[in-house]
């Protein structure tokens, strides 16, 4: 099944089943539109068309993808994500059935499946591009760059398998692609974010909640925010999830203990940093670069997507300071996660 058909099926078969299991409070309904965090689907035809609610009419808009989210934006997303993930937990608890078993056709991996020549080629192209960026980055000496590239190659061997449902932790329906362009925000008169809406579920997968949380942070925030506010954001997320479960007279501690969330965040941390480093190079492409490869020179698109991303990402790295800063941020964080803090005074 392709990613578009998967999204259509989610909107037409899964969401109608799990959305009613979370009843928002009257006060919350007054604060947000009826379909605040998932647009309403008016029509869905497999491999043909999907017609969704235009969230702009409810005051939602897209943010600047090049600007890392601040803490306030992250808090709004964590509250929404807690409510969204709670839907899976409520469904499975009340129905006493696995969401994955009931809707297996919507839970498979569509970005990098374990099997499939084309998906393997796309993943290999992404790895090649990332290795090329390591050569260009600042902050590591030649020896450290060589070590990091070796680690990236090693981690990449099992990355697709790591996207499969967990055998240790509780899984939920995860969005799977929570970056700036897939999150619409609503603001008050002072410009403060008050609500957000999740769009584009083509990469949805059945994973531990930590997968969505950590990948969002890698895709859309700065390393400084991740280091300083992760614990606070986990508190916000778990509080929202717990409240949503309580509205159905369910106890979060019985279904998804806080210790399990913390343990899964610890275990999935490295994998999600790797996932971020592999995806950010494409997410943060500037409009001119996207136009060149996706519109003006489509004959080159096949090669950069399925053979080697190097020409695409290295030009962007060299020409865009914002792109370079975000990529170096992600790669240095990955290095420090693997080998500890770089020693001060070393040849950087």
What is the residue extent of each domain of the chain?
A: 58-337
The separation between CA 326 and the C-alpha centre of its own chain, rounded to angstroms, equals 16
Give yes or no for a contact between 171 and 165, defined as CB atoms under 8 angstroms apart: yes
Instruction: Say whether domain 58-337 belongs to CATH 3.30.160.
Output: no
pLDDT given at position 344: 42
- What pLDDT does 192 receive? 98
Where are the extended beta strands (E) located within the chain?
Answer: 41-45, 49-52, 61-62, 172-174, 183-187, 193-198, 205-207
- Rounded-to-integer distance, Cα 154 and Cα 146, Å: 13
**Could you read off the pLDDT tens digit of each residue along the chain, which spans 348 residues?**
588 999 999 999 999 999 863 334 444 444 444 446 999 999 998 778 999 999 999 999 999 999 999 999 999 999 999 999 999 999 999 999 999 999 998 888 999 998 888 899 999 999 999 999 999 999 999 999 999 999 999 999 999 999 999 999 999 999 999 999 999 999 999 999 999 999 999 999 999 999 999 999 999 999 999 999 999 999 999 999 999 999 999 999 999 999 999 999 999 999 999 999 999 999 999 988 888 777 777 778 888 889 999 999 999 999 999 999 999 999 999 999 999 865 543 443
Q: Are 174 and 205 in contact (CB under 8 A)?
A: yes
pLDDT at 318: 95
């Amino acid at each position: 099944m392709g990613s578009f058909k998967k999204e259509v099926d989610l909107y037409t078969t899964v969401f109608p089943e799990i959305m009613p299991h979370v009843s928002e409070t009257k006060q919350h309904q007054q604060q947000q539109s009826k379909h605040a965090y998932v647009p309403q689907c008016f029509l869905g035809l497999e491999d043909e068309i999907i017609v969704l609610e235009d969230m702009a009419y409810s005051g939602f808009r897209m943010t600047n993808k090049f600007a890392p989210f601040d803490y306030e934006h992250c808090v709004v997303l964590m509250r929404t994500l807690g409510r969204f993930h709670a839907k899976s937990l409520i469904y499975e608890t009340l129905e006493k059935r696995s969401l994955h078993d009931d809707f297996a056709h919507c839970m498979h991996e569509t970005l990098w499946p374990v099997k499939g020549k084309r998906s393997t080629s796309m993943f290999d192209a992404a790895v090649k591009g990332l290795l090329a960026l390591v050569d260009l980055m600042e902050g590591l000496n030649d020896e450290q760059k060589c070590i990091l590239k070796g680690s990236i190659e090693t981690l990449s061997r099992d990355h697709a398998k790591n996207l499969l449902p967990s055998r240790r932790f509780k899984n939920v329906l995860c969005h799977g692609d929570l970056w700036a362009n897939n999150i619409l925000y609503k603001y008050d008169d002072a410009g403060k974010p008050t609500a957000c809406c999740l769009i584009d579920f083509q990469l949805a997968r059945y994973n531990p909640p930590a997968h969505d949380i950590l990948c969002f942070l890698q895709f859309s925030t700065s390393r400084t925010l991740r280091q300083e506010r992760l614990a606070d954001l986990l508190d916000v997320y778990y509080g929202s999830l717990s409240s949503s479960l309580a509205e159905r007279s369910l106890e979060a501690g019985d279904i998804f203990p806080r210790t399990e969330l913390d343990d899964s965040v610890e275990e999935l941390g490295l994998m999600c940093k790797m996932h971020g480093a592999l995806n950010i190079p494409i997410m943060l492409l500037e409009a001119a670069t996207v136009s060149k490869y996706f519109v003006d020179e489509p004959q080159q698109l096949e090669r950069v997507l399925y053979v080697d991303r190097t020409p695409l990402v290295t030009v962007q790295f060299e020409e865009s300071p914002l792109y370079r800063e975000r990529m170096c941020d992600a790669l240095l964080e990955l290095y420090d996660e693997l080998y500890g803090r770089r020693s001060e005074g070393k040849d950087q």
